[in-house]
Structure 1
């Protein structure tokens, strides 16, 4: 009886037999584990005597083999999920043994995929460059798609028909990386995959910036650089910026998005960790430059940097659009603000330098003052940055001690009022106003410098020369569109008015030496006295004006013609009358008629073109 009851107790402790379906599923899963073990063990580089696995790349040995390996991992994972779920009614010991076996194989497989992932990234450094990545994404390989029936060789050949050899290799490598990443992430080994990817790709981004000529410098290091050296580094950065944003960082974003296409969060995190520091440092360089010692001559480089970031802003926002890369966008915006601040300060320094100019020495011959050359060349270059300046000064209206005269502008291009104009027209008007003010500051300074000349006629000639130079600079540069044709015409007329004042004052005594009625009868004595007086005045005027110049060729010819018309016609009549009166006089008396009308004209046309005059091109510098 004890034996029977004991046997019955044992029977009651045994669980009911599994259903045929459950037993069949467990058998299938065990078969999957066994199949996975066959291929995974074949590529276990840690196994003794497995030299083939140690020296051969799984993904280079054959694409069918690589696909089989990845399918084996998926089957292995599915089996592990089955044995830990409530669906499996196998004994606990059997389930545990199956799980341990599967887990061991999974670890071997993951170590292999880590090795393959690292090897593919290293072996394809050149093929995974940004340009190749961008091209290959147009024809992405589907080497590990379960839906295609085409062979791997057919797929690669098809890709090769539309992209080049490098792009094809890049596409294959990207497909391999994507397949490995998906497999590792699905198996719970995403951290290991991401660690390898970030370590290798971060070094490639840093190397890419280095090859573009970008050198990581701190604010203190940049402050210590001579301007000539810093200017070269700015030039290098300007050349590197479009490539860095549109190719290097953009290509890295494309690659990251593709490799980790199965997980947006992992892809974003990877891209942020790989590029954030490098991009922040790169886009922080302009801010460091903006903080260096100011000088008006640096303004153009500051505006170049401002233009570069402004032009690249759409790419910056598109590539670094994640919350995790907000620091990059903030740095780019911070650099823009600092550059704008520096530009405004430098332009204010430029205006102050005009007002503070204390040079008192008169320019020889009333020629163009060095301040005029400097300011107008500066403004002519600056006018090319109209759009940038309009943006920089959008919220900073011009404050002037006195209102600008209405005649300073082309009235046709002046908005009726800031409120009635469009934003673009208002911004353009604001910048035109600022340029007009700077020219007016220069003109006021020139008025003061004209007062140092002892001869009033030379003062007017100085003003005429400098104003005409200003008009010419406006007409031949973008300043024409800022100040307007009417502005140029009005100031050209003013320059001609100054020239007329010079003619009147510089040649008044010579003109007065010719009798009011040159054809009137006169005796020999009277003719001798009047001709002698003319000779003295004419020679004095020629000696005095020997070094005087009219810089503009067109105005020079106009002034010469005007002076000649003022003197020669009346002198011609006077000359003939004197010759007739002195015809019967002594040779000494007749010798007083020294200058024929042609001589007078030639002497006039020989003036105002001193060899000592310096061309604007020789001293124009900014």
Structure 2
């Protein structure tokens, strides 16, 4: 609605009937000496004029018109007149309970309350859009503005001051503020006059329908455990996603907005604002917080389900301060209890799924041999799982903080991989993660035995451990595991790589003399060249199919082999090539020149030769 239109609705001039009534600024306060008879009659007469004007039973004008929208100034005068009437009734009833003035005042009060009920209903109904929880929730940071508007003196402020206030607030917020202020004025008046029940009934009826509609639109519904158990994972996964979004919106707007509105309108009575908020939100809030508990009870066990459970746990945990604040009333403690029950059930399910994941690794019986000693699928899957878990590090810390560590005797047997004693960090989450990685390494150790070539077994272990460390460095696992733990395992990679070199290329090095420059007879030199050629070619063909996916580890192994092998062979070649005779003899007995050895070593671990049909060592230059 345009600003000009809103002003004409809220601030239209008073009617001629109102002009002849008592001045709005003459609202009374009860003097210590009481009221004179003439003052009592004047107050009742003044109230009678404005009450009669807005009596829907006698005035067709009042029947179709809203007092608060027709003239805000007149509405405020109506409220003051009723409040004055109430003070007079209280005074007179203490003097003469049968007084004609008291009877007349009581009759006027009943008509006035009926009018205020109608106005209260109209404002709530006509402002559903402006009093929706999302709009109201933005007011939480506008306490001072809200307070100033609620106490606004419509009679003492000229229009230009009202216009200035309008300019400082957006139009939507302005309408919302004004509606809230009007509702509060009516509620204060009705509660003070003993008509709280009628006011509360109207409020609860309208506001509960709004909250229930919001709950429905967010997709929150009662779901039984049996129904959840029958759902396909894809369907349940979507429902959990919807719940997470519903949780966000509910806490940010739906319940927050309703609490702000309820607290503001019924600020004059703690018991009323508590009963209203409880009546309006309790059922929907319990339904919202019940869903995670039902999902956590699902019997289907899938390790991946843990991430959805952790997401729901996080949603409740992160919002717990707001939950305690919004649902702080004792009459609505069931909401807090339900949230805690869901947290407890999620906690239990997450622990069980962690044990299931651990068991899944230990029970993996696949005999898959990864060609060339590459990364095993179990390693990739497990590290994907663990790195995703690390994103919930803080939540997992809460969940397993009091979880006793399992006995170390439960670890599987291993041989290639030897864990360092006392390596587990002290923090429970770090201890649990390091244990899961150790179980994975021990399982990989058992899979390494499926390789017939022991050298490739060591390369397989080095590759997989290097992959694990790389994933740790690139994820939040890095912050959960100590630097000492990571350093020790990086040392293990080097040891495994060294073991690979020894078993893969040890025979080649052994074919060369310990002192490559020591004098030799021609026959001895020829035999040494022959043994080197045979052992090098044999080792090359065994290792050409090996892979080292990590570039740093690949370069490290190549440099190490080259430094040991090429350097020794270069010295031997330079010292004894002339010993075996002329160039023709060298060509006959020397199948590999030192540069050939270096070239062939550079082709290792990337499968370029076998995949592209490259030359073999026997077809050297």
Instruction: Give the TM bin, normalised by the shorter chain.
Output: 0.7 to 0.9
User: Deviation at 1:66?
Assistant: 0.8
Are 1:595 and 2:568 matched, yes or no?
no
User: Deviation at 1:572?
Assistant: 2.6
User: Deviation at 1:538?
Assistant: 1.9
In structure 2, the residue matched to 1:235 is 241
- Of 397, 411, 420, 1:390 maps to 397
Are 1:465 and 2:459 matched, yes or no?
no
Over residues 288-312 of structure 1, what are the superposed CA-to-partner deviations in whole Å (9 max), with x where a residue is unaligned? 2212233211112212221221111
In structure 2, the residue matched to 1:442 is 440
Over residues 148-178 of structure 1, what are the superposed CA-to-partner deviations in whole Å (9 max), with x where a residue is unaligned? 8623746633533543322222221111111
Deviation larger for 26-35 or 489-498 = 26-35
Are 1:166 and 2:175 matched, yes or no?
no
User: Deviation at 1:77?
Assistant: 3.5
Does the 8 A contact of 1:35 with 1:72 survive in 2?
A: yes
- Of 108, 111, 122, 1:108 maps to 111
- Of 543, 546, 554, 2:544 maps to 546
Query: Are the structure 2 counterparts of residues 80 and 523 from structure 1 closer, same or farther at C-alpha, using a change threshold of 3 Å?
Result: closer
Query: Are the structure 2 counterparts of residues 220 and 472 from structure 1 closer, same or farther at C-alpha, using a change threshold of 3 Å?
Result: same
- Of 56, 62, 77, 1:53 maps to 62
Are 1:180 and 2:186 matched, yes or no?
yes
Q: Provide the C-alpha distance between the structure 2 equivalents of 1:173 and 1:484, rounded to a whole number of angstroms.
A: 58
Structure 2: 5+ residue runs without aligned partners?
1-32, 412-417, 611-621
In structure 2, the residue matched to 1:277 is 283
Does the 8 A contact of 2:139 with 2:146 survive in 1?
A: no
TM-score, normalised by the number of residues in structure 2: 0.83
- Any residues of structure 2 matched to 1:81-92 within 5 Å, and which? 81=90, 85=93, 87-88=95-96
Deviation larger for 505-514 or 251-260 = 505-514
Does the 8 A contact of 1:524 with 1:582 survive in 2?
A: yes
- Of 361, 368, 372, 2:368 maps to 361
User: Deviation at 1:475?
Assistant: 2.6
In structure 1, the residue matched to 2:318 is 311
Query: Are the structure 2 counterparts of residues 142 and 360 from structure 1 closer, same or farther at C-alpha, using a change threshold of 3 Å?
Result: closer
Q: Provide the C-alpha distance between the structure 1 equivalents of 2:240 and 2:512, rounded to a whole number of angstroms.
A: 66
Deviation larger for 288-297 or 73-82 = 73-82
TM-score, normalised by the number of residues in structure 1: 0.83
Are 1:118 and 2:121 matched, yes or no?
yes
Does the 8 A contact of 1:130 with 1:251 survive in 2?
A: yes
- Of 275, 297, 301, 1:294 maps to 301
User: Deviation at 1:102?
Assistant: 4.1
Are 1:198 and 2:204 matched, yes or no?
yes
Deviation larger for 210-219 or 167-176 = 210-219
Over residues 382-411 of structure 1, what are the superposed CA-to-partner deviations in whole Å (9 max), with x where a residue is unaligned? 223222122112222212233999946679
Does the 8 A contact of 1:114 with 1:193 survive in 2?
A: yes
Query: Are the structure 2 counterparts of residues 54 and 343 from structure 1 closer, same or farther at C-alpha, using a change threshold of 3 Å?
Result: same
User: Deviation at 1:211?
Assistant: 4.8
Query: Are the structure 2 counterparts of residues 133 and 279 from structure 1 closer, same or farther at C-alpha, using a change threshold of 3 Å?
Result: same
User: Deviation at 1:326?
Assistant: 0.4
Q: Provide the C-alpha distance between the structure 2 equivalents of 1:222 and 1:259, rounded to a whole number of angstroms.
A: 40
Deviation larger for 589-598 or 391-400 = 589-598
Query: Are the structure 2 counterparts of residues 145 and 483 from structure 1 closer, same or farther at C-alpha, using a change threshold of 3 Å?
Result: closer
- Any residues of structure 2 matched to 1:368-407 within 5 Å, and which? 368-402=375-409, 407=420
Query: Are the structure 2 counterparts of residues 435 and 283 from structure 1 closer, same or farther at C-alpha, using a change threshold of 3 Å?
Result: same
User: Deviation at 1:273?
Assistant: 0.6
Deviation larger for 383-392 or 268-277 = 383-392
Does the 8 A contact of 2:188 with 2:268 survive in 1?
A: yes
- Any residues of structure 2 matched to 1:418-497 within 5 Å, and which? 429-497=427-495
Does the 8 A contact of 1:130 with 1:248 survive in 2?
A: no
Structure 1: 5+ residue runs without aligned partners?
1-21, 416-428, 614-622
User: Deviation at 1:338?
Assistant: 0.9
Does the 8 A contact of 2:327 with 2:336 survive in 1?
A: yes
Q: Provide the C-alpha distance between the structure 2 equivalents of 1:146 and 1:139, rounded to a whole number of angstroms.
A: 10
Deviation larger for 487-496 or 66-75 = 66-75
Deviation larger for 348-357 or 135-144 = 135-144
Over residues 197-219 of structure 1, what are the superposed CA-to-partner deviations in whole Å (9 max), with x where a residue is unaligned? 01111122233344556455444
Q: Provide the C-alpha distance between the structure 1 equivalents of 2:88 and 2:276, rounded to a whole number of angstroms.
A: 30
Work out which of the two has the higher radius of gyration on C-alpha atoms and give 1 or 2. Answer: 1
User: Deviation at 1:341?
Assistant: 0.7
Deviation larger for 337-346 or 140-149 = 140-149
In structure 2, the residue matched to 1:268 is 274
In structure 1, the residue matched to 2:3 is none
In structure 2, the residue matched to 1:138 is 144
Does the 8 A contact of 2:50 with 2:78 survive in 1?
A: yes
Query: Are the structure 2 counterparts of residues 473 and 147 from structure 1 closer, same or farther at C-alpha, using a change threshold of 3 Å?
Result: closer
Q: Provide the C-alpha distance between the structure 1 equivalents of 2:377 and 2:422, rounded to a whole number of angstroms.
A: 25
Query: Are the structure 2 counterparts of residues 551 and 409 from structure 1 closer, same or farther at C-alpha, using a change threshold of 3 Å?
Result: farther
Does the 8 A contact of 1:287 with 1:335 survive in 2?
A: yes
User: Deviation at 1:547?
Assistant: 1.2
- Of 339, 345, 352, 2:346 maps to 339
Does the 8 A contact of 1:582 with 1:590 survive in 2?
A: no
In structure 2, the residue matched to 1:535 is 533
